[in-house]
Amino acid sequence: MKQTVQMKRIQEKMQPGVITRDGFLGTDRRNLVDILVEDDAEVRRMDLDHQAVARRMIELRDAGMRGLGDFITVEPHYEVRVDSARGKLPCPFGDPGVFPKTNTTVRNLNLDREIVYTDLNIHMILAHGFYEGKGAAFRVEPRDLVHILDIAPERE
Ligand SMILES: [Zn+2]
């Protein structure tokens, strides 16, 4: 798919040192449009959409909030920790608002695996279907999210 001028501008804001020190793209050399298209296809192959993924991320973050920075048990088989750092970040897609620097760590005790995501990850997945570039510090693989957070397609 062709990268629009607007996408190109957004991708410039994702470079290291613009919004965050390390940027949002890692070692990914692809155009933003291709990153988006590929992750979208991956999520669809699992019979899900970005809203369903983000909803589950929010649910577990909210459940973990009452731990006030420590791991707490969340039924049926998770430990969740939510830590907040000072400061807020804007979204590189340029929509209004800023996002607190909140990291949520979810450990799935059944699988013995964990994943970390930020409030900005949640927003970018929900609003833009963006999981960050390969090799980015906060890249979240759609497949890992779905697996570790036990996200299942909704049955009609
Ligand atoms: Zn945004």
C-alpha of residue 91 to centroid of ligand 1, in Å: 5
Task: Give pLDDT, residue 58.
Answer: 98
In whole angstroms, what is the distance from residue 20 CA to residue 14 CA?
8
79 Cα: distance to centroid of ligand 1 (angstroms): 28
Question: Ligand 1 centre from 32 Cα, in Å?
Answer: 14
pLDDT at res. 30: 97
CA of 46 relative to ligand 1 center, distance in Å: 24
Residue 117's pLDDT is 98
147 sits in which H/E element:
helix 142-148
Contact 89, 19 (CB under 8 A): yes
pTM for this predicted structure = 0.95
- pLDDT tens for each residue of 44-83: 999 999 999 999 999 999 999 999 899 999 999 999 999 9
Which of the residues in the chain have pLDDT under 70?
Answer: 155-156
Ligand 1 centroid, distance to 12 Cα (angstroms) = 15
Q: What angle do CA 48, 53, 56 make, to 5 degrees?
A: 130
- Alpha-carbon span 42 to 24, nearest angstrom: 19
Q: Parallel, antiparallel, or unpaired: how do β-strands 72-74 and 78-90 relate?
A: antiparallel
Q: Please tell me the distance from the alpha carbon of residue 60 to that of residue 116, in angstroms, as a whole number.
A: 11
